[in-house]
Structures are given as C-alpha cells and as structure tokens.
C-alpha cells in the first residue's frame, strides 16, 4: 500500500484538518455572490508550509463540484498586463485558460513612474485593465466563478494593479466573481505598492492561517493511519504528535509519513519501537528542513537578528511588538555572527526580512500588531545553532546588550 502522506509535494493531504473558520467565510462569500452580492476578494496569508495552497485547492474543488467556473492564475506565468489580458481573453473564448506565451517585459518609453518605482505605460495599462475587466465580466456572467491566485506575492506590480482594478470593475458591474489570493506575509506590503486600497476593507476576508490546533492537527495524522491501515493512535502518541509538530501542517505530513513507514503492515497499534523509529526519521527530516531555513537566513545576513528575536520572543512569552523586534534585531546584528553585508540593513529592514522568510509574522490570532513565530520550534533551533556552531558566548553578549534589554523590558508585554 502506498504511503498517502506526501509532504511538500503540493498534493492534497490524505486528511484535511481544520480551517473551518476560513472555509465558512469562503462559503458565505460564494453564497452571497450567487445572489448577486459580491463582497470582494479574500486573501489567505501565512508563511510557507502553513497550508495556503491546500486550502485554496479546497475552495477550487468546492466551486467546481457546485458547477461553477474556476480560473486559476499562476503569477510567474504572467509577466505583463497585456499577457494577463491575453490569458483572460483566451479563457473566455475557449472556456478554459490557455498557456500563454512568455512575453518579454517591454521597457516603457516615456511612461510615468508608477507602482512603487516600476515604469508603466498608463494608456496601455488602462486598456489592458479594461480588457481584463471585460473578460472577468464574461467569465462570471453565466454563473458563479472563482478566480484563484496562488503565490500572489509574486504578481508583478503592474499585473497585480490591472487584475485588482479589473476585478473590482467587473464586480461592481454585477459579475458573480469571487477572487481568492494566497501568499506569504509580504503579500500586504506588496499589494500596497500597487496603490490599491482594498486591503483595508477586507474585514474577516483577510485570513491569516494559524497552526492547526489540537484535534484538527492530530486528525491530519491519525485519520489516514486509522482509515487506511486500521492503526490506532493512543493518547500518548496524540500528545507526541502535537509536541513534535506544534500543529505546523508540513511537519504533520512528515510525521504521518514516518509513522506510516515505521509500523509493520500487520500492526493494529503503534509499538514503542515503531514510534521511536518514526520519531527518529521525523527528526532527521526536520533537521534538514531547519538547516535550509538557517542557510536562507544566513544568506540574507539575518542570522544574528533571528537569534536575538528568538531570544526576545522567548522572554516575552512568544510574541513581540514590532518595536521590540527592531531593538532585538539591532542587538543581534552586533553579535557579528553574519558575514558583512554590502549594505548594512536598518532594524526595520531586518524585521521585514525576517517576516519575508516567515521566521516571524503578524499572525497573532487576536492582535495584528504582534509578531509571532512562523514555526515556534525553528526559533529554538536557531538559538542552538548560533550558540553551538558560531558563537557560544552569543547568549551572554545578548544579555549585556542595552537594546536587547530594552526589547525585553518594554513595559507592556504583548
Ligand atoms: N489543513 C491541512 N490538513 C492537513 N495537512 C495540511 C493542511 N494544510 C496543509 N497541509 C499539508 O502541509 C503541507 C504544506 O501545505 P501547503 O498548502 O503546500 O502550504 P503553503 O502553500 O502555505 O506553503 C502539505 O504537505 C499539505 O498537504
Ligand atoms: Mg503554497
């Protein structure tokens, strides 16, 4: 029997856990759109591995099984506004999206500075936007349509502007269109550069995907083991599933795959040696994953900052205000564990960099001002890595640093 867990393959998990709140909001939008009341786009935001793609696919399947039209856009395949207009026009004509020719981005002659510094030819963009709006209008004219854009943080700014303006125009004219964008935590600043204002009006359609909680997380691992192999997962193993993965969806799949492989085919429960074997395998995969993340942080000159933010986060109970994170980054930079960077980053740039890497993000469930870890256990790994392999005095140096003390002292704890 093939192992149904496929971590990182982009395929749907064998058991989809949780996300009820997010799907509830989506269902509400769709049922309103069917009645001609369009609420506007939804956005799914989270660091890598948190389940954006899988949730988006779930939404796609819902609309398809309901007989609606689905149009999926891949930002890396749409280099220009005119490529977007062509793609949508094809979709209208053929009833499905055709692969588009890769267009070279033309240098706009005599254009005006637009969209966060990029040059754009306003007239052409307006024309492309009109065409996009017209196509989207037709796509959603016959019935409910879903426009799904994964990796939306990769949308070129002018393409994103055209899409958002066109989407809004089509929707205002009564097209039954629901758009869902999914992307990493830099999605909001990226969209802001497009000079569009829709983000402030999203309300609960802005979904910051959380780690999976308790029963939802355990079910993602335990249900396929039980349903497909008849393997029981007892309370002790349930607790281990939570403590080993923290409910991080990617790790849940990795652990599921390891448990599946570790149990003998005729087993109906997990013997201690099978659990130990799975835990060992899981640990190896996790170490590789962490090491890649550490390398990425190192490449960006952010290891010292990450180390100090992790330490401050621990002291402050798992969440930091941006100001505190900035102070910690300054202190971390001074540790000297990173190679010198050509441009010395400011503390704000370091916090943005850590957010882009998904090390921390504004994913606090109730307070958007608070930065929380992308993967809590990665913080621990970074602390150990820096202390063990780069500088075993880093902790002491940090404790003596005035900025770090201020970061941890700032009176109001998040
Ligand atoms: N709700 C979920 N229940 C179970 N597994 C999930 C869930 N969401 C994601 N996963 C698994 O976690 C991994 C990462 O999911 P993915 O959607 O690719 O994340 P992202 O797009 O945020 O990087 C995949 O292996 C996926 O199958
Ligand atoms: Mg994804």
Distance 54 CA to ligand 1 centre (A): 5
Q: C-alpha distances in angstroms, 145 versus 39, 62, 108, 171?
A: 14, 11, 33, 11
Distance 322 CA to ligand 2 centre (A): 26
Distance 152 CA to ligand 2 centre (A): 10
pLDDT higher for 323 or 197? 323
What integer pLDDT is reported at residue 121 of this predicted model? 62
Q: How far is CA 133 from the centre of its chain?
A: 27
List 45's β-bridge partners, or say none. Answer: 183, 208
d(CA 337, CA 354): 16
Q: With a 6 A CB cut-off, is 247 part of the ligand 1 pocket?
A: no
Residue 364 neighbours by CB under 8 Å, 6+ apart: 319, 370, 371, 372, 414
Residue 145 host element (H or E): strand 145-149
What integer pLDDT is reported at residue 410 of this predicted model? 65
Q: With a 6 A CB cut-off, is 198 part of the ligand 1 pocket?
A: no
Strands 112-113 and 360-361: unpaired
Which ligand has its closest atom nearest to the C-alpha of 255? 1
Q: How large a percentage of the chain has pLDDT more than 70? A: 92
Q: With a 6 A CB cut-off, is 38 part of the ligand 1 pocket?
A: no
The 3-class SS string of 41-103 reads CEEEECCCCCCHHHHHHHHHHHHHHCCCEEEEECHHHCCCHHHHHHHHHHHHHHCCCCCCCCC
- 382 and 307 Cβ atoms separated by less than 8 Å: yes
Indicate the DSSP class of residue 386.
I
Which ligand has its closest atom nearest to the C-alpha of 52? 1
* pLDDT higher than threshold 90 for residue 191: yes
Q: What are the tens digits of pLDDT across the range 33-70?
A: 999 999 999 999 999 999 999 999 999 999 999 999 99
Residue in this structure with the two tokens 């063990």, named with its chain if needed = 388
The average pLDDT across 143-155 equals: 95
Of 114-123, 208-217, 229-238, 282-291, which gets the smallest average pLDDT? Answer: 114-123
CATH number for the segment(s) 20-208: 3.40.50.300
What integer pLDDT is reported at residue 302 of this predicted model? 96
What integer pLDDT is reported at residue 344 of this predicted model? 85
The average pLDDT across 149-171 equals: 95
Q: With a 6 A CB cut-off, is 181 part of the ligand 1 pocket?
A: no
* pLDDT higher than threshold 60 for residue 99: no
Q: Which of 3, 49, 52 to mutate to test the pocket of ligand 1 (most atoms within 8 A of CB)?
A: 49
What integer pLDDT is reported at residue 100 of this predicted model? 34
How many other β-carbons are positioned within 10 Å of the β-carbon of residue 112?
9
Query: Largest alpha-carbon pair distance within the chain?
Result: 72
- 82 and 128 Cβ atoms separated by less than 8 Å: yes
Q: Which ligand 1 atom sits closest to the C-alpha of 47? A: 22
Mean pLDDT of the residues in the chain: 90
What integer pLDDT is reported at residue 308 of this predicted model? 97
Distance 251 CA to ligand 1 centre (A): 9
Distance 123 CA to ligand 2 centre (A): 34
CA dihedral sign of residues 299, 304, 305, 306: positive
What integer pLDDT is reported at residue 9 of this predicted model? 72
Instruction: Decide: residue 315, CB within 10 A, 0-12 exposed, 13-18 middle, 19+ buried.
Output: middle
Specify the residue with its C-alpha closest to ligand 1, atom 16: 51
Q: With a 6 A CB cut-off, is 302 part of the ligand 1 pocket?
A: no
Domain ranges of the chain: 20-208, 214-290, 300-409
Q: With a 6 A CB cut-off, is 49 part of the ligand 1 pocket?
A: yes
* pLDDT higher than threshold 60 for residue 256: yes
The average pLDDT across 397-404 equals: 94
Q: With a 6 A CB cut-off, is 183 part of the ligand 1 pocket?
A: no
Predicted TM-score (pTM) of this structure: 0.90
Q: What are the tens digits of pLDDT across the range 262-317?
A: 999 999 999 999 999 999 999 999 999 999 999 999 999 999 999 999 999 999 99
d(CA 301, CA 267): 48
Q: With a 6 A CB cut-off, is 147 part of the ligand 1 pocket?
A: no
The average pLDDT across 81-101 equals: 75
Q: Which ligand 1 atom sits closest to the C-alpha of 46? A: 22
d(CA 132, CA 162): 7
- 119 and 160 Cβ atoms separated by less than 8 Å: no
Q: Which ligand 1 atom sits closest to the C-alpha of 18? A: 1
Q: With a 6 A CB cut-off, is 18 part of the ligand 1 pocket?
A: yes
The average pLDDT across 177-184 equals: 96
What integer pLDDT is reported at residue 95 of this predicted model? 67
What integer pLDDT is reported at residue 15 of this predicted model? 97
Specify the residue with its C-alpha closest to ligand 1, atom 25: 7
Which ligand has its closest atom nearest to the C-alpha of 151? 2
The average pLDDT across 161-188 equals: 94
Of 24-38, 103-117, 211-225, which gets the smallest average pLDDT? Answer: 103-117
pLDDT band for 94, please (50, 70, 90 cuts). confident
Of 100-114, 180-194, 258-272, which gets the smallest average pLDDT? Answer: 100-114
Alpha-helix runs per DSSP H in 35-66:
52-65
Q: With a 6 A CB cut-off, is 54 part of the ligand 1 pocket?
A: yes
Q: How large a percentage of the chain has pLDDT more than 90? A: 79
d(CA 325, CA 153): 23
pLDDT band for 104, please (50, 70, 90 cuts). very low
pLDDT band for 365, please (50, 70, 90 cuts). confident
The average pLDDT across 373-387 equals: 94
What integer pLDDT is reported at residue 106 of this predicted model? 41
């Amino acid at each position: 029997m093939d192992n149904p867990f496929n971590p990182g393959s982009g395929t749907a998990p064998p058991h989809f856990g949780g996300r009820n709140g997010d799907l509830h909001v989506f269902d509400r939008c769709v049922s309103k759109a069917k009645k001609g009341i369009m609420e506007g786009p939804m956005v799914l935001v989270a660091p890598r591995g948190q389940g954006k793609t899988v949730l988006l696919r779930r939404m796609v399947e819902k609309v398809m099984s309901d007989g609606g039209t689905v149009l999926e856009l891949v930002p890396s395949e749409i280099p220009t506004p005119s490529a977007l207009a062509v793609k949508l026009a094809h979709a209208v004509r053929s009833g499905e999206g055709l692969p588009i020719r890769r267009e070279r981005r033309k240098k706009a002659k005599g254009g005006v500075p637009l969209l966060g510094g990029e040059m754009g030819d306003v007239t052409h963009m307006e024309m492309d936007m009109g065409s996009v709006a017209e196509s989207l209008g037709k796509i959603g004219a016959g019935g409910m349509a879903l426009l799904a854009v994964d990796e939306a943080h990769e949308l070129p700014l002018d393409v994103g502007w055209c899409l958002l303006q066109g989407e809004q125009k089509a929707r205002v004219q009564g097209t039954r269109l629901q758009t869902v964008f999914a992307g990493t935590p830099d999605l909001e600043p990226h969209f802001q550069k497009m000079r569009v204002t829709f983000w402030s009006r999203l309300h609960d359609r802005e979904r910051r995907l959380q780690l999976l909680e308790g029963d939802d997380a355990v079910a993602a691992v335990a249900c396929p083991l039980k349903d497909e192999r008849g393997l029981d997962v007892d309370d002790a193993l349930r607790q281990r599933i939570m403590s080993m993965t923290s409910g991080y969806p990617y790790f849940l799949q990795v652990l599921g795959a390891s448990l599946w492989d570790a149990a003998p085919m005729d087993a109906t429960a997990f013997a201690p040696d099978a659990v130990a074997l799975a835990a060992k395998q899981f640990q190896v995969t996790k170490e590789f994953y962490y090491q890649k993340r550490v390398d990425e942080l190192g490449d960006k000159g952010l290891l010292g900052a990450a180390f100090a933010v992790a330490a401050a986060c621990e002291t402050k109970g798992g969440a930091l205000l941006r100001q505190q994170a900035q102070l910690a980054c300054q202190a971390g930079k001074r540790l000297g564990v990173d190679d010198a960077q050509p441009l010395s980053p400011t503390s704000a740039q370091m916090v943005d960099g850590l957010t882009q890497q998904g090390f921390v993000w504004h994913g606090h469930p109730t307070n958007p001002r608070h930065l929380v870890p992308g993967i809590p256990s990665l913080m621990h790994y970074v602390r150990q890595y820096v202390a063990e392999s780069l500088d075993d005095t880093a902790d002491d140096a940090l404790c003596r640093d005035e900025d770090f003390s201020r970061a941890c002292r700032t009176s109001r704890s998040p």
